[in-house]
Amino acid sequence: MQVCSESQLIIEMQLVLEERGSKKRAMRGFTLAEVSEHNNSKDCWLVVGGKVYDVTKFLDDHPGGDDILISATGKDATEDFVDVGHSPSAKAKMEEYLVGEIDASTIPSKKAYAPPEQPHYNQDKTSEFIVKLLLFLVPLVILGLAVGLRLYAKSEA
């Protein structure tokens, strides 16, 4: 009896290990380009947390709607998924749709925020000052010349 239960236990353990092994083997790697091909209501794959999910059959049942899932295709949807604050049961449900892993090197890294370029202001105010001075001086010189000419003309007469 003892022998029987022991051998049963061993067989069960072997089965569990085999199952794990086959699951591991089944985990295929996909590039983002490959995943991006499945981007519609008939064939919809998502990338969340480094894993690839085929949610085609879940589209109609997704409490957040099918549109949001379709719009989350073709990119790393981890942030969108996390932002919603999915429940542990939602996370557990994902297992049903797991088809593989994403090749992380194919996901474009997020660009660091670069502030919009400001127009270049001239810090050197010297030229500005010279222009203002000329605008003031030129009419004065013309006026001086005109008065001078008039005085000269009068003295000649």
Q: Which residues make up the interface to ligand HEM (CB under 6 A)?
A: 46, 48, 53, 55, 62-64, 68-69, 72, 77, 80-81, 84, 86-87, 89-90, 93-94, 97
Q: Which is nearer to ligand HEM, 34 or 62 (CB)?
A: 62
Q: Compute φ and ψ for 54, nearest 5 degrees.
A: -95, 100
Cα dihedral 142/145/150/151 (nearest 10):
140
Q: What is the spatial distance between Cα 68 and Cα 77, in angstroms, rounded to a whole number?
A: 10
Question: Considering only CA atoms, which of 70, 5, 68 is closest in space to residue 43?
Answer: 70
Q: Which is nearer to ligand HEM, 30 or 97 (CB)?
A: 97
Residue 132 CB, nearest approach to ligand HEM (Å): 58
Q: Which is nearer to ligand HEM, 32 or 48 (CB)?
A: 48
CB atoms inside a 10 Å sphere around CB 32: 18
Q: Which is nearer to ligand HEM, 90 or 107 (CB)?
A: 90
Residue with smallest beta-carbon separation from ligand HEM: 64
Contact 35, 74 (CB under 8 A): yes
The H or E element spanning position 70 is: helix 66-71
Q: What is the spatial distance between Cα 93 and Cα 72, in angstroms, rounded to a whole number?
A: 18
Q: Which is nearer to ligand HEM, 65 or 148 (CB)?
A: 65
Residue 31 CB, nearest approach to ligand HEM (Å): 19
Residue 8 CB, nearest approach to ligand HEM (Å): 36
Residue 95 CB, nearest approach to ligand HEM (Å): 9
